[in-house]
Structure 1
Amino acid sequence: MNQLWAHSRNDKGERHTLRDHLISTGELAARFAEPFGAAPLARALGLFHDAGKASCSWQEALLAVEGQDRRTGVPHKEFGAVALRGPAHVAALAVLGHHGGLTRPSDLSDLPDLPAEDPETLRRFLDAVPEAKDFLSGGNLIPENWRRCQSTAEVGIRLVFSALVDADRLDTGAHRAGTEPTVRPAPDMEQLWKRYDQERVNVLAKRAASGKRADPVVDTAREQVYQDAVRAAERPGGLFRMAAPTGSAKTMAAGAFALRHAALHGKSRVIVAVPFTTITEQNAGRYRELLGADVVLEHHSSVDLDTAPRWYRPAAENWDADFIVTTTVQLFDSLFGRKPERSRKLHRLANSVIVLDEVQALPLSLLTPILDVLRVLAEEFGTTVVLSSATQPAFQSLPVWKDFPVTDIVPDPTRLFDDLRRVRYEWWCDPRPTLAEIAEAALDERQCLVVVNTTGNARTVYRHANPDETSPHVLHLSARLCGAHRQQVLHDANRRLNADEPILLVSTQLIEAGVDIDFPVVYRVLAGADAVQQAAGRANREGTLGREGGRVVIVVPEDGGYPGAEYRALAEQTSVHFWEGQDPDRLDALDRYYRGVYSALNLADNRRANAVQRGRAAFDYQSVAEGPLLDAGGAGTARDRELAFRMIDEDTVPVVVDFHGKNKDHKGEGPRLAERLRSSTNPTPQDFRAVQPYVVPLPRALLNRPDIRAICRPVVGDLHEWAGDYHEAYGIDTTDIVQEEVW
């Protein structure tokens, strides 16, 4: 064989030569790793990742399966990993895992030295790619700053693995398409910043012309926050904190900071991550309005890539875009994952601006590894990190961020909170009311929002407020409603508010997830101070109620519940630090509250966080993503998944419901789509996305009960169809079947 091949014929009848593939992958990987100083390592990984394909057995197998939908069945990744084991050290795991994912150092060290055939394979490989010889005879390929710190090296290997995977996929995809690999040109951040700033002026002018103005004090404060962000953008990169109250236009100001900072300091892109899909969609829409649809990439589970513009699909896979709006789940599950598909985008984090919105929603049990990785990105990989929240957590009080310098974007947040005080807080706790009494009090208000902690409590309050279900102005919102149902409720609520009609909305904390809605009165059952303040952000949001402002009544019911022990602990700390005295938006008291929370939950010695950190220190990527081995010293393969990194802890099962709401034509749409999935031998992503609006997540423990499982029909995988009743007000209700735990 005079010619070595990497891939079989494409639609043009052309095979992909091994030399072309390895050279191109190496060049692309080096280009992607240049911003974080790992170009030589990335080039070596690219040159060696498919070196094993030079073996006679692999070449023969490729020709044997050509034209068939089969793999060669001959391993090839081990050869390159062994060859680079010396100069690349543990980073050679990237070669070993470029198809299946990063694993652990022992998988690399346990590989045998080159077997009998491999000296010939090495000769054939080096004849085809003589450039690779330099890396075999050269020195240590690990960047010097990685050698000084294990945490830096652990993150660095993730990023260089990402660069390799992305380069490999791009070059292979280009061959199949009969084209050349394409990477979007570097963005002109100065132009994007100017466009953003000008479009903001235009949006505000249109708003003023339409008569939709907030209170002048609110508008003045919003302008001040924006200008503070623009000025702070001139500071050198690192860690920034934007502490500003709800309704102060943080979203717009954060975008301004990120774009101007990127323009001034040569950053490659802006990545905005928020905790909930609803906020992601909302923020992405606002940024598209200012920057254009061709600039903003919205990446989360609800985006339909099949109907998106052509550039969206590849950009969503590797975040090759100028401005990205995603979820914190997508961001951090990728950062701590190990599979190529999730990791492919990670090299884009270097030399970028990351804005973490609603940062108080980060999972407490994972704060230590999350903050550690953010610190490493900021200190070693040129990433600027912005923490945005109305309830800024006291992260600097945790050991992992001790002495980590932070710059406040808003120089005097205390004054800003005072200027934007739009509500007055009241406490209703002595004597403690019942949920029924809360419902009665809320009915006395013309327009009122009641926020409780569990779906069971929400149903109880709703039933007391609307016992015969004849009051159309009493609405219910919880996770027991499917997505289409929740959207209908919010639309109806906003319509009634705008028309000044009576309304009582009873909701779980779902309403606090960045939902843009404005009530004059809010009743909030005792919860964490951040949740209370988020609920308060739904009261007098536009500051139009004059000097009295909106009312926020913090209620401590005698028959209320909590969705878990951690949630209860947060509520208890609210009682300790704010009980009938301090308002939850007092920044000094809020700082003490967070310190109390961290101490009460013993975050410095959290079992899961410590397990993740141990896995990271050992470069055991499989342990981090999937949990440590239960039998660490034996031959077992079972893992403790309770100690794995995962942003969402809730173990739920999706069920499809029959919801039609006010559109009778949609009756049976959910079951029809479920049947299509059930009967299909090859369901498409479009089929799964079509059914998503009719899905309700149920706790797996509930679905495991025989009486509940009896009314759930399997569809495909974990997806089930709900055959029980679906209530037009509060969705799935199983209280007549089983006494549920509050959740």
Structure 2
Amino acid sequence: MAHSCSHFYSHQGILLKDHLKDVGELCARYVRNCVNEEKLIETARLIGKTHDFAKYTEFFQRHLHGEKVKGGLSTHSRLSALSSSWIVNRRLSDLFLSSAAFLCVDSHHGSLESFSKLHEIARFLDEPLIIHHQIKSIKKNLQAIKEELEELDLEDLLDFLNEPEKCINEIKDILSDSDPLLWDEESRWRNYYIVLLLYSSLVDADRKDAGKVYEVISIGRKYKDLSADLVKSYRKERFKGLCGPLVKLREEIFSLSEKNLEDIMNVPLLPKILTITAPTGSGKTILSFFTALRIREALSVNGERPRIIYSLPFINIIEQTYSVFNDILSSHFKNVTIDLLLKHHHLAFPEGKFQGEDVPLDKMLLLSDAWDSEVIVTTFEQLVRSIIGSRGTLLRKFHNLANSVIILDEVQAIPLEYWGLIQEILNKLTALFNVRIIMMTATRPIIFQGEFEVIPRHEEFFRKLDRFVIISHLDKEITPENVADFFFSNWDGKSSVLIVMNTIGASKIVYNRISNKYGEKAVRLGSINEKDGINGSSNLILAYLSTNIIPKERKRRINLIRELLREGKKVILVSTQVVEAGVDLDFDIAFRDVGPLDSIIQVAGRCNRNGRHTDKARIHVFRVVDSKGYPEAEKIYGKILPDITINIFKRRPIVKEQDILDVINNYYKKILNSCNVTSEYLNYIRNLAYNNLSNFSLIREEHKVSIFIEIDDEAARILERFRETLDNFASAEMHNLFKYKAELRKLRVHLEEYIVNSWPNQRVTSLNYITPETGIYYVPKSVLSAYYDGETGLLQDEKDYSGGYIW
């Protein structure tokens, strides 16, 4: 290829000047939607217009056409970052925004670097020969580039090209003076979020424009008329003809809350943080959606139509909430498209139309991963890592959090050590970006306080209920075998039973002991495909649940158990914590190994849930140790939380439902007195140390390996398609890469339905991988019985459970 270029491209088939213009305008649009500050909006526009400036080099153009270019000369982020920082300083004379521009552009193809890295970069800016060679290359085509820069309103950059040494020295001084330690506390937080906003807007705009998303859909949101009356209509239809004490309680709570919300909507300033505190089964999910829609209606008077982001602690309970919202919206919208309602987490894949259009997979992912929808149902993990972190793939949806209503369901499930951190980031988010937060729980931690409680006199509703009683047996330690014996002596032979253990190892011991006792008298849920496989109402049904079972089978079992319980069948379910939060099951009696008090209350919420029985459900709590005498609870929760729970039960061995609120408030006070709930991550945020936040996660990291279980023909077909697509991806031409990448992600979601995780051991690591690239071990159907049990899942040696193989 000749050194002289007449046309410059950013990507295959996309003119560079068009890409820079479009990304600049998109960045400005995104930031304008978040803040009304012209200086920030203009910074975003300049960042977008210059983020690929170095693609004007002959080296990049040759690289784009498939030529090999040596020595890193085709790279473009560093020189583009210099041009971006320089022009922001030239136009706006703002040292912080100039530094932020450099950081965002320099990081836009990877992860966001820490502000402290700018000092290190500044020291060596005048040394790399690559930058000088790249500037010389651009100047070879200066006349053609000059015309494009003028068209982009970037003619200032001609000065940068003509006097590069002087301009780079100016940038060195700017970067060297960028020190968060010199800022006051308010500026630190604001600047942390401003960098996130600029970076998020750039990464999202760049990817969407490069992916040609706006060739198939229109730019900007198509606002939907989402009235709170949709919820009222749904409730009227859904609960028509139902009666009972809990139905009456739900109606009373909703009616009082509706009146309370009308009062608060009439005040000049809507509260930023609201809480919904009510007992389990009292309709909090529907009430929270109604509340969010009322806020949206109230703000629409001022032209605002906030997104509604509903976040939950666990992936396995998202489907239920998503289904409720889909039913509510379906009553008004003929097609609930993805731009209206999105289910988003790392194991979900968007399927359906967007703005009424069939959108290719790769483009649909660019839209869904940015949360370009009116209502999003997602996880705490996805939400929080959009605010705390450094990965562009997660942070790029940050700009869509602005002006939103965020619902946090089961907020107490956030790990204790992060309570202070999460409270702080949410408070700052509401202050800076006009976000509203709705926190809802049956056991609200006192650290998560709001400005306004949606349910008036909510304490009274706890005292009106009398569905269960928690009975402590914590005076002595017992083994998993003793738990089964305790169950035998306390079961009336008629009731449905839930037994929750803290570890997979303990749960399997209990299940197998019960299974051996009843032998052929019981039907085992893993061995039947449908409810019709259970004959006769007198049958005893044994079921097992934990993450030792593949996800596809877990879902099937939960749905089947729900049906059987509604029909009054005698179901005995042995489970780990997977059954605790958000799983709508209703048992007569429960047994649980000790743990955090809120977890025990979650189990209680799975008993006599709808108040069908006049007799209170009994929840028996005991303290289980393994064969070496080590407490099972401490393997999962550490020592502090179980100990606080045990001490509370020592003084109060029987807890009725009416007493729950008082007991849980006492529990959280003791936690705050016993624990330091601040976090080192707060210091990283204050110092804009984004790189130090890269590994942040609400989920405790466990060094487990993934194992694909080829349990049926469908699993085999999915694996075959995955392997074929991976081969196609490896040999694909550049213009097809995104298509195959999207297809791989879709297939990976299907693969996950057959994957369990295990601590590595010789038995597992001797298996082959499904493909070398994935690192996922493979149990083919031909050897299935040697590795996987149809009832309790993955087969493990006893020693593999000793470390607390959980959930």
| Matched residue, 1:536 | 604
Matches within 5 A, 1:306-705: 310=358, 312-395=364-447, 406-430=451-475, 434-441=482-489, 443-446=491-494, 447-467=496-516, 469-470=519-520, 471-472=522-523, 473-546=541-614, 548-557=615-624, 561-562=632-633, 564=635, 566-579=637-650, 580-583=653-656, 586-604=660-678, 609-610=679-680, 612-626=681-695, 644-645=696-697, 647-659=699-711, 666=712, 669-670=714-715, 673-674=718-719, 677=722, 680-682=726-728, 684-699=744-759, 703=760, 705=761
Distance 1:271 1:67 in 2: 42
In structure 2, distance between residues paired with 1:212 and 1:718: 53
Q: Secondary structure at the match of 1:742?
A: coil
Deviation at 1:318, TM superposition (A): 1.3
What SS is found at the alignment partner of 2:226?
helix
1:625 maps to a residue whose letter is: S
CA contact (8 A) 1:454 1:563 kept: no
Preserved contact between residue 53 and residue 79 of structure 2 (Cα < 8 Å): no
List aligned pairs for 1:131-210, cutoff 5 A. Answer: 133=156, 148-174=186-212, 179=215, 182-185=218-221, 187-188=223-224, 191-194=225-228, 197-209=229-241
CA distance in 2, matches of 1:61, 1:77: 13
Report the AA paired with residue 562 of structure 1: A
Contact 2:310 2:408 (C-alpha < 8 Å) held by counterparts? yes
Equivalent residue in structure 2 for 1:710, among 766, 769, 784: 766
2:753 alignment partner, SS class:
helix
Residue 40 of structure 1: aligned partner = 39
The residue number in structure 2 matching 1:662 is none
Kindly state the Cα deviation for residue 49 of structure 1 after the two structures are TM-superposed: 4.5
- Offset of residue 118 of structure 1: 4.3
SS in 2 for 1:208: coil
Question: Structure 2 counterpart of 1:709, which letter?
Answer: T
CA distance in 2, matches of 1:578, 1:444: 25
CA contact (8 A) 2:227 2:293 kept: yes
In 1, Cα distance between equivalents of 2:602 and 2:549: 21
Question: What is the deviation of 1:228?
Answer: 5.8
SS in 1 for 2:694: helix
Conserved 8 A contact 1:8-1:66: yes
- Paired position in structure 1 for 2:776: 719
Change (3 A) 1:734 1:231: same
Q: What SS does the aligned partner of 1:436 have?
A: helix
Between the two proteins, the alignment pairs up a number of residues equal to: 687
In structure 1, what is the equivalent of residue 250 of structure 2?
A: 219
Deviations along 1:544-596, one digit per CA (max 9) or x if unpaired, are 213x3322222334656126263442121112224315557532331221232
Give the aligned partner of residue 245 of structure 1.
279
Secondary structure of the equivalent of 1:697? Answer: strand
Partner of 1:283: 321
Contact 1:51–1:77 (Cα < 8 Å) also in 2: no
Check whether the contact 2:231–2:286 (CA below 8 A) recurs between aligned residues.
Answer: no
TM-score relative to the length of structure 2: 0.77
Deviates more, 1:117-126 or 1:714-723: 117-126
Q: Which residue of 1 aligns with 2:534?
A: none
Residues 742 and 655 from structure 1, CA distance in 2 versus in 1: closer, same or farther, beyond 3 angstroms? same
Is the Cα contact below 8 Å between 1:239 and 1:407 reproduced in 2?
Answer: yes
Would you say 1:78 and 2:78 are equivalent positions? yes
Partner Cα separation in structure 2 for residue 456 and residue 497 of structure 1 = 26
What is the TM-score of this pair, normalised by structure 1?
A: 0.83
| Residue identity in the other structure for 1:296 | L
Q: Distance in 2 between matches of 1:53 and 1:156?
A: 21
Pair 1:108 & 2:118 matched:
yes
Q: Give the aligned CA root-mean-square deviation in angstroms.
A: 3.5
CA distance in 2, matches of 1:672, 1:179: 34
| Deviating more after overlay: 37-46 vs 723-732 | 37-46
Rate the CA distance shift 1:514–1:600 in 2: closer, same or farther, 3 A. same
Note if contact 2:406-2:436 (Cα within 8 Å) is conserved in structure 1: yes
State which drifts further: 454-463 or 35-44: 35-44
**Range 474-483 or range 216-225, more displaced:** 216-225
Greater alpha carbon shift after TM alignment, 511-520 vs 593-602: 593-602
Q: Is the 8 A contact 2:707 2:758 kept in 1?
A: yes
Q: Secondary structure at the match of 2:750?
A: helix
Q: Which of the numbers 91, 102, 105 marks the counterpart of 2:100?
A: 91
Name the residue aligned to 1:636.
none
The residue aligned with 2:153 is: 130
Note closer, same or farther for the CA distance 1:455–1:712 as it changes in structure 2 (3 Å cut).
farther
Confirm or deny: 8 A CA contact 1:25 1:47 kept in the other structure. no
3-state SS in 1 of match to 2:643: helix
Cα drift, residue 215 of structure 1: 4.0
The amino acid that maps onto 1:423 is F
Using a 3 Å threshold, how does the CA distance of structure 1 residues 498 and 178 change in structure 2: closer, same or farther?
Answer: closer
Are the counterparts in 1 of residues 590 and 618 from structure 2 also a CA contact under 8 Å? yes
Distance of 2:155 and 2:276 partners within structure 1? 48
For residue 294 of structure 2, what is the aligned residue in structure 1?
260
Structure 2: how far apart are the matches of 1:106 and 1:603?
A: 26
Per-residue CA deviation, residues 487-538 of structure 1 (Å, 9 max, x unaligned), is: 2322332232122222211111111131111112122222111101111111
Q: Which moved more, 1:318-327 or 1:23-32?
A: 23-32
Higher relative contact order (CA 8 A, sep 6+): 2
Q: Which runs of 5+ in 1 are unaligned?
A: 397-403, 627-643, 660-665
- Using the TM superposition, give the Cα deviation of residue 225 of structure 1 relative to its aligned residue in structure 2, in angstroms: 6.1
Residue 226 of structure 1: how far off its partner (Å)? 4.8
In the TM superposition, residue 98 of structure 1 has moved relative to its aligned partner by 1.5
Distance 1:305 1:105 in 2: 35
Q: Does the CA contact (< 8 Å) of 1:48 and 1:80 recur in 2?
A: no
Unmatched tracts of structure 2, length 5 or more: 161-166, 168-173, 331-335, 524-540, 730-743
Aligned to 2:349: 304
CA distance in 1, matches of 2:15, 2:243: 60
Q: Deviations over 1:184-210 (max 9, x none)?
A: 43525xx3024xx2354244334425x
Deviation at 1:68, TM superposition (A): 4.0
- The equivalences for 1:722-737 within 5 A come to 722=779, 724-735=786-797
Q: 1:669 to 1:212 in 2, by over 3 A?
A: farther
CA distance in 2, matches of 1:42, 1:363: 37
